[in-house]
Structure 1
C-alpha cells in the first residue's frame, strides 16, 4: 500500500486504535492538516514519523509530488485534525489521483463526528443526508437551510459556535416544532447531546448548551403533507414554491406525494407558465 487513510480520535486519545498507531509508526511520511495538532498526537504515542502539511490551501500544489514519491516507493498516512480523513476535509482529490495512477491505498477506520451524533440523536437514522458545513454567505446559507428543511429524511450538518444561533433561528422560522438534536464535544470531558423541538432548543443555546466546541446538528425530516387532491397540480407546486422550495424541489415533492411521474408534473406546471 502507498497510502493509509488513517482515522484518529475525535478528542479522547484512548480511542486511538493499535492498528492506527502501528500504521503511523511504519509509514515514511504522515500527511496532516495542522502539523502542530498532529504533533501532539504523535508525541503522546511516541511516534517519530516526519509530518508534512496537506490542507485546503496547499493540496493543489503538492499532490502531484506526493504521487511521484509514491511511485518511487515511499509510503504515506493521511490524517485529519480529528476523526476520519476526507469527510469535510481535503483528501478525495489525492485518492482520485491515486486511482488514476493505479496506486493502492487502504483505510484505517475511526469514528466521524456526524455518525456518532446521529447515533446519539434519537432521531430516525434509516435514511439521512449529510451536509457538512453550511455555506458562509448569508443568502446561500438561508437557501440551503430551506432546502434541508424540505427533505423528508433526517439531515445532519456541522456548525460552529458563532453560527449555531443563526442556524437554529433559521430552522425555527421555518418550523419551530421540528425535532432537532445538538451534539458537542463528542468523546471529550464535557460531551453533550440534547434533543428538543427547534424552538425550545434555541432557548437553551448559550445557557444549558454552552457556545463552545464544534456542533453537530441532526434535524428530523419533514412530515409528509396531507394533500388536498382537489387542488390542481400546478397550484400545489406554486404553494410549495411560496413556502421556500425551488421549482425543481416542489415538482419532485408533488410527484412523490401524489404518486405521479415527475416529468408529468413538470410538463403540466410549465405548460401553464407559457
Structure 2
C-alpha cells in the first residue's frame, strides 16, 4: 500500500485508534499540515516516523516527489491537524493524482467535526449539504448564506470564533426564527452544543456561548411556505413567539413566509380592525 489516509483525534487524544497508531508507526513518512501539531501527537504515542509538510502552500511543489517516492516503494500516511484528512483540508489533489497513476491507498477512519455536530444538533440528517468554511469575500459570503437559508434540506458549515457573530447576524436578517445548532470544542473539555432560533442564539453569544474554539453550525432546512398556511395568522405568530422570537421578529417572519405586508400581520396579531 502506498498511502494511508489516516484520521486523528479532533482534540481528545483518547479517541486515537489502535489502527491509526500502528499505521503511523509502520509507514516511512507522515504527510501533515503542520509538523508542530503532528509532532505533539506522535510524541504522545511514541511514534518516531519522520514528518513531511504537505499543505496548501507547498502541495503542488512536493507532489511530484511524493509520487516518485511511492513508485520507488516508500509508504506514506496523510494526516490533518485534527480529524479526517481531505475534509476542508488539502489532499484530494494527491489522491486524484494517485488514481491517475494507478497507485493504491486505504482509509484509516476517525471522526469529523461536522458529522458529530450534525448528530448532536437534533436536526434532521436524512438529507444535508456540507459547506465547509464560508467564502472570505463579504459579498460572496452573503450570497452563500442566502443560498443556505433558502435550502429546504439541512446545511452544515464551519466558522471561526471571530466570525461566528457576523455569520449569525446575516442569518438573523434573513430568518430570525430559523432553528440552528451551534457546536464548539467537540470532544474537548468544554464541549458545547446549543440549539434554538438563530435570533435567540445571537443574543447568547459571548454571554452563554464563549467565542473560543472552532464552531460548527447546523442550519435547519427552510420549510415550504404552504406548510404554514393551515393556521390563522395570529396563531402562526404566537407559535413563533413560543419558540423564542420577539413579537416583532415573529411578525416579520410570518409576513415573509406568507408574502404579506408586515403591517397587515401586525394588525391581525393585535386584533386591530380597519
TM-score by shorter chain over 0.5: yes
Q: Report 1:21-100 matches (<5 A).
A: 21-100=21-100
1:187 aligns with 2:203: no
Task: Report the Cα distance in structure 2 between the residues aligned to 1:46 and 1:65, rounded to whole angstroms.
Answer: 27
Match of 2:16 in 1: 16
Q: Any idea what the Cα deviations from partners look like across 1:137-196, whole Å, max 9, x if unmatched?
A: 100000000011010000000000000000000000000000000000000000000001
Q: Report 1:33-182 matches (<5 A).
A: 33-182=33-182
Task: Report the Cα distance in structure 2 between the residues aligned to 1:225 and 1:95, rounded to whole angstroms.
Answer: 43
Task: Report the Cα distance in structure 1 between the residues aligned to 2:149 and 2:85, rounded to whole angstroms.
Answer: 28
Deviation at 1:225, TM superposition (A): 1.6
Deviation at 1:64, TM superposition (A): 1.1
Match of 1:214 in 2: 214
Q: Any idea what the Cα deviations from partners look like across 1:79-115, whole Å, max 9, x if unmatched?
A: 0000000000000000000000000000000000000
Aligned residue pair count: 228
Q: Any idea what the Cα deviations from partners look like across 1:177-225, whole Å, max 9, x if unmatched?
A: 0000000000000000000100000001111000000000000000012
Task: Report the Cα distance in structure 1 between the residues aligned to 2:56 and 2:207, rounded to whole angstroms.
Answer: 34
Task: Report the Cα distance in structure 1 between the residues aligned to 2:26 and 2:164, rounded to whole angstroms.
Answer: 40
Unaligned runs of 5+ in 1: 228-242, 244-274
Unaligned runs of 5+ in 2: 228-255, 257-274
Task: Report the Cα distance in structure 2 between the residues aligned to 1:61 and 1:156, rounded to whole angstroms.
Answer: 32
| TM-score relative to the length of structure 1 | 0.82
Deviation at 1:13, TM superposition (A): 0.2
Task: Report the Cα distance in structure 1 between the residues aligned to 2:140 and 2:212, rounded to whole angstroms.
Answer: 25
